[in-house]
Amino acid sequence: MSVPVRISIDAMGGDHGPEVVLAGVAISQARHPDARFVLFGDEPRLTKILAARPALAAVSRVVHTEVVVGMDDKPSQALRNGRYKSTMWRCIDAVKTHEADAAVSAGNTGALMAMAKFNLRTMPGIGRPAIAAIWPTLRGESIVLDMGASIGATAQSLVEMAIMGAAMARTIFDIPQPSVGLLNVGVEEIKGVEEVKEAGRILREDEHPDLRYHGFVEGNDIGAGTVDVVVVEGFSGNIALKTAEGTAKQIATYLRAAMGRTWRARIGYLLARDAFKMLREKMDPRRSNGGVFLGLNGVVIKSHGGADAEGFAAAVDLGYDMVRHQLLTRIETSLLSRLPRGDAAGAPEAAEAEGRS
Amino acid sequence: MSVPVRISIDAMGGDHGPEVVLAGVAISQARHPDARFVLFGDEPRLTKILAARPALAAVSRVVHTEVVVGMDDKPSQALRNGRYKSTMWRCIDAVKTHEADAAVSAGNTGALMAMAKFNLRTMPGIGRPAIAAIWPTLRGESIVLDMGASIGATAQSLVEMAIMGAAMARTIFDIPQPSVGLLNVGVEEIKGVEEVKEAGRILREDEHPDLRYHGFVEGNDIGAGTVDVVVVEGFSGNIALKTAEGTAKQIATYLRAAMGRTWRARIGYLLARDAFKMLREKMDPRRSNGGVFLGLNGVVIKSHGGADAEGFAAAVDLGYDMVRHQLLTRIETSLLSRLPRGDAAGAPEAAEAEGRS
CA angle, residues A174, A94, A125, in degrees to nearest 5: 55
Q: Looking at the structure, do residues A181 and A248 belong to the same domain, yes or no?
A: yes
Cβ atoms < 10 Å from Cβ of A209? 11
Its domain, for residue A95, covers 5-121+296-325
Helix pair angle (B309-324, B155-173), 10° resolution: 100
Q: Looking at the structure, do residues B221 and B258 belong to the same domain, yes or no?
A: yes
Q: Do A246 and B270 touch (CB under 8 A)?
A: no
Residue B30, H or E segment:
helix B17-31
Cβ atoms < 10 Å from Cβ of A277? 11
CA angle, residues B111, B112, B116, in degrees to nearest 5: 120
Q: Å from A123 to nearest chain B CA?
A: 20
CA angle, residues A311, B259, B222, in degrees to nearest 5: 50
Residue A314 is predicted with a pLDDT of 95
Residue A349 is predicted with a pLDDT of 39
Residue B260 scores a pLDDT above 80: yes
Residue A285 is predicted with a pLDDT of 73
Determine the Cα–Cα distance for residues B43 and B66; give it in Å rounded to an integer.
Answer: 9
* DSSP three-state, residue A182: strand
| B110-138 pLDDT per residue, tens | 999 999 999 999 999 899 999 999 999 99
Residue B279 is predicted with a pLDDT of 82
What is the distance between the terminal CA atoms of chain A, rounded to a whole angstrom?
37
Determine the Cα–Cα distance for residues B77 and A288; give it in Å rounded to an integer.
Answer: 44
Put simply, whether A59 touches B (Cβ < 8 Å) is: no
Contact A10, A46 (CB under 8 A): no
Q: Looking at the structure, do residues B140 and B262 belong to the same domain, yes or no?
A: yes
Low-confidence ranges of chain A (pLDDT < 50): 340-357
Q: Do A239 and B219 touch (CB under 8 A)?
A: yes
Residue A188 is predicted with a pLDDT of 56
Of residues A180 and B281, the one with the higher pLDDT is: A180
Q: Looking at the structure, do residues B143 and B266 belong to the same domain, yes or no?
A: yes
Q: Looking at the structure, do residues B216 and B275 belong to the same domain, yes or no?
A: yes
Q: Assign B187 a pLDDT band (cuts: 50, 70, 90).
A: low
Residue A117 is predicted with a pLDDT of 96
Is residue B349 in some structural domain?
A: no
Q: Looking at the structure, do residues B179 and B306 belong to the same domain, yes or no?
A: no
Is residue B33 in some structural domain?
A: yes
Put simply, whether B186 touches A (Cβ < 8 Å) is: yes
Is residue A238 in some structural domain?
A: yes
Residue B344 scores a pLDDT above 70: no
CA–chain centroid gap for B59, Å, is 24
Beta bridge partners of B179: B212
| B71-92 pLDDT per residue, tens | 989 899 999 999 999 999 999 9
Q: Looking at the structure, do residues A215 and A281 belong to the same domain, yes or no?
A: yes
Contact B102, B319 (CB under 8 A): yes
Q: List CB contacts (< 8 A) between A150 and chain B.
A: 190-192
Boundary residue ending a domain (B229, B259, B284): B284
- Taking phi over 0 as left and psi of -120 to 50 as alpha, with beta for the rest, B316 belongs to alpha
* DSSP at B11: T
Strands A229-231, B291-294: pairing kind: unpaired
Helices (H), chain A: 17-31, 43-51, 54-58, 75-82, 87-96, 109-120, 155-173, 194-205, 219-224, 234-259, 263-271, 273-283, 309-324, 327-336, 341-344, 347-356
Beta bridge partners of A152: none
- Mean pLDDT of all residues in chain B? 89
Burial B62-98 (b: 16+ CB within 10 A, else e): bbebebbbeeebbbebbbeebbeebbbbbbbbbbbee
Q: Looking at the structure, do residues A116 and A143 belong to the same domain, yes or no?
A: no
Of residues B192 and A23, the one with the higher pLDDT is: A23
Q: Looking at the structure, do residues B208 and B246 belong to the same domain, yes or no?
A: yes
Is residue B357 in some structural domain?
A: no
Residue B351 scores a pLDDT above 80: no
Closest Cβ opposite residue B278 in set A238, A253, A258: A258
Question: Which CATH number is A262's domain given?
Answer: 3.40.718.10
Is residue B351 in some structural domain?
A: no
Q: Looking at the structure, do residues B225 and B174 belong to the same domain, yes or no?
A: yes
Contacting B residues, span 115-144, partner chain A, CB-CB under 8 Å: 137-138
Determine the Cα–Cα distance for residues B98 and A119; give it in Å rounded to an integer.
Answer: 65
Query: What is the full DSSP assignment across A16-54?
Result: SHHHHHHHHHHHHHHH-TTEEEEEEE-HHHHHHHHHT-H
Q: Assign B239 a pLDDT band (cuts: 50, 70, 90).
A: very high
| B282-300 pLDDT per residue, tens | 777 777 788 999 999 999 9
Phi (first) and psi of residue A23, to 5 degrees:
-60, -40
Residue B286 is predicted with a pLDDT of 74
Q: Å from B201 to nearest chain A CA?
A: 19
Q: Do B234 and A190 touch (CB under 8 A)?
A: yes
* DSSP three-state, residue B110: helix
Put simply, whether B216 touches A (Cβ < 8 Å) is: no
Residue B343 is predicted with a pLDDT of 40
Residue B159 scores a pLDDT above 70: yes
Residue B346 scores a pLDDT above 60: no
Of residues B193 and B100, the one with the higher pLDDT is: B100
Put simply, whether B8 touches A (Cβ < 8 Å) is: no
Put simply, whether A75 touches B (Cβ < 8 Å) is: yes
Is residue A186 in some structural domain?
A: yes
Is residue B290 in some structural domain?
A: no
Residue B354 scores a pLDDT above 70: no
Contact B269, B291 (CB under 8 A): no
| B298-340 pLDDT per residue, tens | 999 999 999 999 999 999 999 999 999 999 898 888 888 765 4
Q: Looking at the structure, do residues B92 and B174 belong to the same domain, yes or no?
A: no
Determine the Cα–Cα distance for residues A70 and A73; give it in Å rounded to an integer.
Answer: 5
Burial B280-318 (b: 16+ CB within 10 A, else e): eeebebbebbbbbbbbbbbbbbbbbbebbbbbbbbbbbb
Q: Do A240 and B238 touch (CB under 8 A)?
A: no
Number of structural domains found in chain A: 2
Helix pair angle (B234-259, A273-283), 10° resolution: 150
Determine the Cα–Cα distance for residues B309 and B14; give it in Å rounded to an integer.
Answer: 11
Beta bridge partners of B39: B9, B62
CB under 8 Å to B298, separation ≥6 — which residues? B92, B95, B96, B102, B103, B116, B120, B328
Q: Å from A157 to nearest chain B CA?
A: 15
Determine the Cα–Cα distance for residues A213 and B140; give it in Å rounded to an integer.
Answer: 40
Q: Looking at the structure, do residues A95 and A213 belong to the same domain, yes or no?
A: no
- Mean pLDDT of all residues in chain A? 89
Q: Do B189 and A240 touch (CB under 8 A)?
A: no
Closest Cβ opposite residue A268 in set B76, B218, B272: B272
Is residue A346 in some structural domain?
A: no
